[in-house]
Structure 1
Amino acid sequence: MHPVIATFGPVAILTHDVCVALGIGVAALVFLWEIRRRRAQDDRLWYVLAGALVGGALFARLGTWAQHLDPRDNATLLEQWAYGNRSILSGLVGAYVGAIVAKKACGYPWRTGDLFAPAVAAGMAVGRLGCFLAEPPGTPTDLPWGVTLNAAQAEAMHTVAGVPLHPSFGYEILFHLAAFGALLALRKKVTAPGALFKIYLAAYAAFRFVVEFVRGNEVVWLGLTRPQLFLLACLPLIVAGLVRDLVRRKEAVTA
């Protein structure tokens, strides 16, 4: 695995950061493509995009702060921002909140989730490549596609050497690529505003819940990890929102 692309004196160019930046760029291009395809061109959409990016960046880092019930066991917010782990799940929540705030601020009245859906899937596929190359793969596996690290790689990633491990981030890359293709195929079939994005979120939440079993994250309660507990709370809300959107669309068509 390759956590560092290159070093220039004391400065290291991190693979993860480069892939995240590339993922954001790809997502922005797909978002622009969707705007043009749907003929939804409106200058206020750039404020919405900026709000999503800022919200995602803030929440991705700070969303992992409250890991312990006792606040004294958590890092300070400043320490969390400077040294804390990033979470893609809290980043997605932040992007959603940021987009809503930006829409309210600039007066954009229409739903934007369906514009974001293919963009997010494409950007996630690219960004997760950085995780695949720079973070611990997953739990041990007997499957033929397991990833085996040498001693130096395992030490750098704080995991075991010489044992095949689940390429959990590889699974995520494949999921997001498949989701991107599926979203493109469903664009003309799913016409309820906001439904396409909720379909993607629900599918990713269910997939991520399952893949967490081979991620190797800390189990905290009832055999589940923190991301799984978060997803258990969010998935019913996403599904309820999707059902509401589909019902409203059906009622509008039959009215």
Structure 2
Amino acid sequence: MLIHTVFDLLAACAALGMTLFVYHWRLRDAARKIDSAGPLYGLALVMGAAIGGFGAGTLNLWLSGAPGIGRSIVGALAGAIIAVEIFKRWRGISGSTGLIFVPAFATSVVVGRWGCFLAGLGDDTYGTPTGLPWGHDFGDGIARHPVQLYESLTMAVFLAVALTLIGRRNGFFMQNGFYLLVLVYAGQRFLWEFLKPYGSVVGTFNLFHLICAGLVIYSLAMMARGKAS
């Protein structure tokens, strides 16, 4: 799994570089809300992401009949959101604080999913069999949906749009950029989950379907609340 580790590091470095770029370019003011929240904000975010990422990833493996320790980026996103929202309510912080993370998160997915793709079957992120011409053999002689690349491409398009809107200082995006990221990421991930051989929880829906549905509801509710206020 060395290739996966290499791409994890590349994704982290790319995300950090993107954050520094957008901070100095357009999002210095957005970052001030986090600075004013204090160091416990970062602690809540990291702890929530770790618990959600490893918890959801591991539970999904068990539900799929493959005991072990797993990681999940959508689980990390959900865990971070829950922890930060609890922290914000405790500290009386209103409004979105996540805009500065939007380009970084999208960048990490764009780069990191290539590591998942190149890691093959051992990564447990491959898709179901397909007869489509772009199906990929991950090492078992079966052409499968390269769902990792579907996700990477989708988030690359989102990143390009996001940077354009940030560059224009689009009012709606500057206020709701994080919620739009959650909506797009969870929405596209919900679709790709139908192309993965994971164990189901309810009907044809696996654990990640349920998490993504919750994230979509969260993002729509937060944007609606912001519009009403």
TM-score bracket, shorter-length normalisation: 0.7 to 0.9
Structure 2: unaligned runs, 5 residues or longer: none
| 2:16 counterpart letter in structure 1 | A
Give the Cα separation in 2 of the matches to 1:174 and 1:238. Answer: 22
The match for 1:9 is: none
Q: Which residue of 1 aligns with 2:116?
A: 131
What is the DSSP-based 3-state SS (H/G/I as helix, E as strand, rest coil) of the residue aligned with 1:63?
Answer: helix
1:179 aligns with 2:158: yes
- Give the corresponding residue for 2:11: 23
Identity of aligned residues (%): 27
Of 53, 57, 61 in structure 1, the residue corresponding to residue 54 of structure 2 is 61
Equivalent position amino acid for 1:94 in 2: G
1:196-235 matches, within 5 Å, as 196-235=177-216
**1:112 CA drift (Å):** 2.3
Residues 60, 199 of structure 2: 8 Å contact kept: no
| CA–CA separation in structure 2 for the residues paired with 1:22 and 1:98 | 26
Q: 1:17-58 CA distances to partner (integer Å, 9 max, x unpaired)?
A: 222232122222222222222333659379455653443233
Quote the residue 1:7 is aligned against.
none
* 2:82 is equivalent to residue 114 of structure 1: no
Q: State the 1:67 CA deviation.
A: 5.8
- What is the rounded CA distance, in whole Å, between the counterparts of 1:107 and 1:30 in structure 2? 29
Greater RCO structure (CA 8 Å; 6+ sep) = 2
TM-score (norm 1): 0.71
Using a 3 Å threshold, how does the CA distance of structure 1 residues 138 and 118 change in structure 2: closer, same or farther? same
Matched residue SS, 1:220: strand
Which one of 133, 137, 150 corresponds to residue 148 of structure 1?
A: 137
Task: Note the C-alpha offset of 1:65.
Answer: 5.0
Pairing 1:79-94 to 2, within 5 Å after superposition: 83-94=68-79
The structure having more radius of gyration, on CA atoms, is 1
- The total of aligned residue pairs comes to 215
> Residue 182 of structure 1 aligns to a residue in which SS?
helix
Aligned mates of 1:56, 1:18 — CA distance in 2: 21
The DSSP-based 3-state class of the residue aligned with 2:201 is: strand
Q: Whole-Å Cα distance in 2 between the matches of residues 24 and 106 of structure 1?
A: 29
Indicate the SS of the match to 1:16. Answer: helix
Specify which structure has the higher proportion of helix: 2
Deviations 1:72-121 (A, max 9, x none): x99xxxxx9xx511111111123334555777899987742111111110
- Cα RMSD of the aligned pairs, angstroms, is 3.1
3-state SS, counterpart of residue 206 of structure 1: helix
Q: Mean Cα displacement is larger for which, 222-231 or 30-39?
A: 30-39
Using the alignment, how far apart are the partners of 2:94 and 2:206 within structure 1? Answer: 38
* 1:23 aligned partner, one-letter code: A
Contact 2:60 2:198 in 1 (8 A): no
Cα deviation 1:200-228 (Å, max 9, x = unaligned): 11111111111111122222321111111
2: CA distance, partners of 1:50 / 1:130: 27
User: What amino acid is the match of 1:148?
Assistant: D
Deviation at 1:132, TM superposition (A): 1.0
Partner of 1:35: 23
